[in-house]
Structure 1
Amino acid sequence: MSLTESIRTHVSENRSTMVTDLVFALAWVTAISLLFDVVQGPQWAYYLCLASGIVAHYGFFASVEAVREQQ
């Protein structure tokens, strides 16, 4: 299997997850950018909030998975 075929297979198997991750990332960056446009916080805090999106992503989707398992 060539590299191109391998990538194509991976993307086709994980398409919905990749789209969900992209939407979450876009929403997070948009919300943080809008917040810092309003409050005019320091640059280091802006980058820290952007980086905290990684933790927020895993926390959010872990809680969604926990709810699905309870149902």
Structure 2
Amino acid sequence: MAKIIEEDGVQYIIEEVNGVEYKYPYTPPEPKPEPSPSAEERIAQLEAELAESRRENLTAMEAIAELYVLFLGAG
């Protein structure tokens, strides 16, 4: 059975094979990357972002129109 030890801040694996102990540096496994979204999920995400952007643009245009009316009324 293998065991992990630490010496001088370095982790090692100790394994015994046929009565002989072997020591080699331990490298922890790399974390798995997040799975990328499917094409359908990405399209849905982009459509949602586009809809939000359109709502924000409409709100800005309405505010500009209100300011324009105020300026015309003041002049």
Of structures 1 and 2, the larger Rg is shown by 2
Query: Does TM, scored on the shorter chain, surpass 0.5?
Result: no
Indicate the TM-score class for this superposition, using the shorter chain for normalisation: 0.3 to 0.5
Q: Give TM-score scaled by structure 1 length.
A: 0.42
Which structure has more helix as a fraction of its residues? Answer: 1
Q: Give TM-score scaled by structure 2 length.
A: 0.40
